[in-house]
Amino acid sequence: MTHRAAVLGHPISHSKSPALHRAAYAHLGVELDYEAIDVTEEALPAFMARVREDLRQGRGWRGLSVTMPLKSGMVREVDEVRGVARSLGVVNTVAFEAPPPGEDPGTTRLVGYNTDVAGIVNALRHAGAASAPSAVVLGGGGTAAAAVAALKELGAPDAEIYVRDVSRATEAKTAAAAVGLAIRVLPLSGAAAALARADVVISTLPPRAADPLAEELAGVLAQRAGGSSARPAPARPGVLLDVAYDPWPSRIAAAWQDAGGTVVPGLEMLIYQAVEQVRHFSGLGEAMPADVIDVMCDAAGAPRRVF
């Protein structure tokens, strides 16, 4: 029987997850149909009820990838939350643990994980991010929570969190308390100077949301370079990971790259976190061959890894 998996979110038509996952399962010889399904926050409980009914009827599900704006709400829809997802209260991956042979399929357990943290850590390390970096995060939601945990793993001593509304950074604050990283939550309007001096910047804002900041940042970086962005800067910006990957390059990524900084597209994070999801959904776990990441890179138009 061919099993099902999907990426859920709203909007979702732009998602590259289907291309990544389908390439992986074809390479692995795993019969698993993977699709994108548009699900709003309000519709999530009803959708998950239908998934559970599918399981009771013997229609197989193997996994769900979860993107904005569903990562926090999914915590309430699973039977168990494991690993860093439990500390963060943010789930981006749902795996299905089948019952023992002969038991009711309705007893399948839905288990929540967070692979975004591994995706961010591996993408930044692949780009050569400094250890114990000075760090800035743009945004305070579910992906920002993963960014906070990733920065802790990278050895950052603290981080500044810049948000449009300082009263709405609950997920980032919860994550910081859970992993023990000191943070300051500040208004987005003052972020440009902080970005220019940071070793690592992680933008978790939706596509185009950082555009107003990009022009100001370009001015700060040009001033730092001696008044002209065309002249080489004495000290280049650090590493910017922009989780938004459509359109690409984003305006903030273009400003960063023009000033000589290293830019990590969100596609890199997406690939690395998807590798961890494929481990869960394929059932191969750590036995999954390492070369699967190369076919996923091919599917996304990203360079293959060099180890």
CA dihedral defined by 194, 199, 200, 203, rounded to 10 degrees?
30
Place of tokens 């569903």: 70
Place of tokens 């990590």: 264
d(CA 224, CA 197): 10
CB 142 within 8 A of CB 74: no
d(CA 78, CA 73): 10
User: Residue 38: is it exposed, middle or buried by C-beta count within 10 angstroms (0-12/13-18/19+)?
Assistant: middle
Task: Check 16, 71, 152, 173 and give the catalytic one.
Answer: 71
Identify whether 173 is a catalytic site residue: no
CB 3 within 8 A of CB 25: no
Among 19, 116, 234, residue whose Cα is nearest residue 124: 116
Q: Which positions are annotated as active-site residues?
A: 71
